[in-house]
Structure 1
């Protein structure tokens, strides 16, 4: 509870009742039980997500080119690599723009991925390993990564500093996503119908990963475990053992997301209501719950 980010979230949470409305990047079919509870405290909810999908569809309708919102320069060589991989065979690995691994965690994930036998595309942004700088060769040398691990990585893996995540998740070769369970990454995976292996790191990510595994049942919640044997077993379970079951549920949610932002969908209606409420000044501060 002494963590600064935890304190920030608690402080912001206490201010929620003072808002005139709450704009949520989600859709009704995904979180209906939670939204029902929220409505009892915050009646003025605007569930307008997935925002990135709505934006993409609008650009396609208007025949405009999608603009990248990446924080770093994207390495598009990974798309060419994916083009040469079998359907649904690649595990996409990315822990987002903030999470950093310790050297020990990096090694455990690396061994787990290699030992699983799965193909993998791994995003390792600069500074993503605590206390270590340099390129892949330098980091591998410092960590004394065995030659057999490096050779297996070259055979079945591809490592980039940053990737066009939405495009990667939409690629036919990608069959799973090892993620930190940030909300943007989770929504992007749901939109593309990609099952997830979740390694959460804080606050909302812990709840999101549990929903992935226990509520939506579209993946596995690794919790805070970081052990090469656990990683290996869970990657195999996601990519092989339970792949069909996870994929079927993920595909269903993907279709519901598309319906939500489509003409007449719940998110499209909520967006229209938001615009009208702003135009006609209908917003009032609700009573405290």
Structure 2
């Protein structure tokens, strides 16, 4: 398979597991690590059984104990075994959150906003940033876009000036913030879609919130995650390696209009399963109870 990269060559090796030859050292590394996993006595997975039952079933051929305890972020308010104290929050805040975006969302109609966030690592060239911006504007949908201070590659342009320009030109069309409280944003009634890099935590949070996705994957597991979102679970769309304003516009319109009813019908079922899994008696709740008991049995 020919390796394809939409990232700048000086950023990060974005061809993880997308290689030109079978003997590629990166691929060999992942094969070695996967084989080493067979020495583990158990697997703890941030997923829920109802979403990935076929895959979990396959893994039972290699692991005698598998604990699916996701979505992990949703367990932060769960009490286990009568414990009066909720579990600690699983949210890892890497940047200062701009919670003013919630007030902005409060002013907008239900399911009208496309939330855009590519996580804490992805960086863009000047041209890529503009293609996404034009695509979002041309879609006609209000958007909340997280652009970190280090999101734009400085050697391609004056990143500060470009960001200021985009913020100014976005007024009346959307809102750009440096970081957002993602779980709170996804749970907001005004948010109708999520344009994401396809990282697993984001997929779990979006699935639990019942917000359909457009995935623009880059590295590691994101390619597979994005395909599952689109082709297996059918709760969103896979943009693959495309970074063109016309594609962005069409994807947003499809998610928010043309294909919305079809996608939301499935997403409603999946979101309900995600919510039920972490409630008392749910699959992830029970698995977490079992995990805690098994750890106690080892340590006592």
**Shorter-chain TM-score tier:** 0.7 to 0.9
Higher RCO, 1 or 2 (CA under 8 Å, sep at least 6)?
1
Shift of 1:250: 1.3
Aligned match for 1:76, one of 92, 99, 104? 99
Which of 226, 232, 251 is the aligned partner of 1:234?
Answer: 251
TM value normalised by structure 2: 0.84
Q: Residues 127 and 133 of structure 1 are in contact (CA less than 8 Å); yes or no, is this contact kept in structure 2?
A: no
2:60 aligns to what SS in structure 1? helix
* Shift in alpha-carbon separation, 1:224–1:133, aligned structure 2, 3 A: closer
Map of 1:24 onto structure 2: 45
- 3-state SS in 1 of match to 2:172: helix
Q: Match for residue 230 of structure 2? A: 213
Counterpart residue number, 1:287: none
Paired residues in the alignment total: 275
**Greater share of helix residues, 1 or 2?**
1
Unaligned runs of 5+ in 1: 283-289
Instruction: Tell me, yes or no, if structure 1 residue 112 matches structure 2 residue 135.
Output: yes
CA deviations over 1:106-142 (Å, ceiling 9, x no partner): 111011001111110000011111226999861257x
Aligned to 2:121: 98
The SS at the match of 2:132 is helix
Q: Does 1:252 align with 2:269?
A: yes
Inter-partner Cα distance in structure 2 for 1:85 and 1:193? 18
Mapped contact 1:180–1:200 kept (Cα < 8 A): yes
Q: Give the TM-score taking structure 1 as reference length.
A: 0.87
Contact 1:46 1:270 in 2 (8 A): yes
Q: Does 1:269 align with 2:274?
A: no
1:177 aligned to 2:194? yes
Aligned counterparts of 1:110 and 1:131: Cα–Cα separation in 2: 18
Question: Is the CA contact 1:261–1:268 (under 8 Å) kept in the aligned structure 2?
Answer: yes
Instruction: Quote the residue 1:225 is aligned against.
Output: 242
